[in-house]
Amino acid sequence: MRVDTMRRIDRYAGVPLCFLLTLLMAPFRSPWPVPVRRALFIELSEMGSAVLADPAMRKLRAAGAELYFVIFAQNAASLRLLATVPEANVFTIRATGLWPLLVDTLRFLVWSRRQGIDTVIDLELFSRYTALLTGLCGARNRIGFHRFHNEGLYRGELLSRRVAYNPHQHIAKNFIALVDAALAPGEELPFSKRRVADEELALAKVSFAEETLLPLRARVVESCELYAGERLVLINPNASELLPQRRWPAARYIALMQRLLERYDDILILITGAPTEREEAERLRQQVGSPRCINFAGRVAFAELPQLYTIASLMVTNDSGPGHFSAVTDLPTFVLFGPETPALYGSLGNSTPIYAGLACSPCVSAANHRKTACSEPRCMTAIEVEEVVAALLPVLGEPTQGEPEASEPI
């Protein structure tokens, strides 16, 4: 289902349904919480958010709760990177069409009751669909973000504990505030009245024995006969269809790869991406025109990404899932930001944001349902190739071959 179609359904069907459910639940609403034993997290649409929510989930697990999660089927693999939620406790909803969505919604409502869910935490900012799931899942404790006196984005009155979304703090801290509200001994208005320390955002890391990395190294050799142990530089040029304005222009990526290859004779560039992005990656590879630039899109399964990030030296990526997935390793990652801000959505890993910071940027937020009117994302074109090259120098070091002649900016 197209993103804009989902937004329209969420608005035109979600608002009246939230209103009706509010009226129906009013006689049965109880302010008294129950102990948190079986906690369900709802986050459907963003794969990176499953990583950003991990510190909050681990905090609730440490408090003794068994964790459950509901997510769109196409994004479920992101939960397996850290495996904080057992596979058997993950429910997936298909978003391939309206009928599968309705069927899986009904299945979810049956499943959640069978699991005995007592607490539900809605991680989505202001989605009416997830508000309906929260209200109908049968949990006594229902925690989520509430608009309070803010205009727009009505989601009814379905929460038992309402948390004020703070647009001035990182989203991972907002997620922890939801967990703090679930664990709070008494009522607060609004939740949550405690400081979330930076130290609470630490992610668990994955590690691998060298022998487990050998098959992936062999795959790199298969893709490039010239490979003889050069440093691997990963380039992820794509972004999800949710916000195409996040893409740095293809011409900039081509120029970046060419300049890196001109400066460093000890690197091999892998263009990464999903299998559906392989054709686009091939066009970029051909225009780079170097045997040390390889189309690696679709060559790595999602579960193998942490291994790829372990053997690589660095990655340059648009603001998209891989910028968060690499956070489970120590890979130096350079993320190009534009319509969104790293202050709220920056990676929790070894990440460096590159951000022009125009007066109009960021232009997407919870208040506009992450939909921008911008058709000319100058926030991305304002990031110059040489600016990115300079940012990589602390990792790559001084050039290993002569500096190329200066060229016109792209």
- Cα separation, 131 vs 124, whole angstroms: 9
DSSP state of 202: P
User: Cα–Cα–Cα angle for 12, 169, 65, nearest 5°?
Assistant: 80
How many Å apart are CA 207 and CA 227, to the nearest integer?
Answer: 24
Cα–Cα distance, 112 to 139 (Å, whole number):
8
Tokens of 167: 């647009």
> Contact, 131 vs 18, CB < 8 A?
yes
- With the C-alpha atoms ordered 389, 391, 396, 399, is the resulting torsion angle positive or negative? positive
pLDDT at 17: 92
What is the C-alpha end-to-end distance of the chain, expressed in Å? 35
Exposed, middle or buried, 355 (CB in 10 Å: 0-12/13-18/19+)? buried
Phi (first) and psi of residue 193, to 5 degrees: -95, 65
Calpha distance 240→256 (Å, rounded):
21
Contacts of residue 257, Cβ cutoff 8 Å, sequence gap at least 6 = 235, 269, 271, 284, 288, 290, 293
Q: Determine contact, residues 139/42, Cβ cutoff 8 Å.
A: no
Alpha-carbon gap, residue 254 to 275, rounded angstroms: 20
Q: What is the pLDDT of residue 372?
A: 83
Report whether 63 contacts 36 (CB < 8 A): yes
**pLDDT less than 70: residues of the chain:** 27-31, 239-242, 402-410
Task: Please give the pLDDT value at position 405.
Answer: 53
Assigned token pair, 352: 């460096």
Cis, bond preceding 240 (omega within 30 deg of 0): no
The two tokens of residue 41 are 């997290």
Domains of the chain: 3-201 (3.40.50.2000), 210-396 (3.40.50.2000)
> Do residues 155 and 126 make contact, with C-beta atoms less than 8 angstroms apart?
yes
Please, which residues have CB within 8 angstroms of residue 102's CB and are 6 or more apart in sequence?
none
Measured at the alpha carbon of residue 100, what is the angle toward residues 95 and 104, in degrees to the nearest 5? 90
Cα 130 to Cα 329: distance, rounded to the nearest angstrom? 31
CB of 146 closer than 8 Å to CB of 190: yes
Q: What value does the mean pLDDT of the chain take? A: 91
Which pLDDT value is given to residue 242? 65
Residue 176 contacts residue 162 (beta carbons within 8 Å): no
Residues whose CB is less than 8 angstroms from the CB of residue 157 and which lie 6 or more positions away in sequence, other chains included: 22, 26
Q: What is the pLDDT of residue 227?
A: 80
* CA count, 13 A, side-chain hemisphere, 21: 22
What backbone phi and psi angles, to 5 degrees, belong to 337? -105, 150
3-state secondary structure of 151: coil
Beginning with the edge strand found earlier in the chain, give each strand of the sheet holding 161-164 in spatial order: 90-93, 66-72, 38-42, 119-122, 141-146, 161-164
Residue 108 pLDDT? 98
Residues 6+ apart with CB under 8 A from 195: none
Residue 348 and residue 55 in contact, taking contact as beta carbons nearer than 8 Å: yes
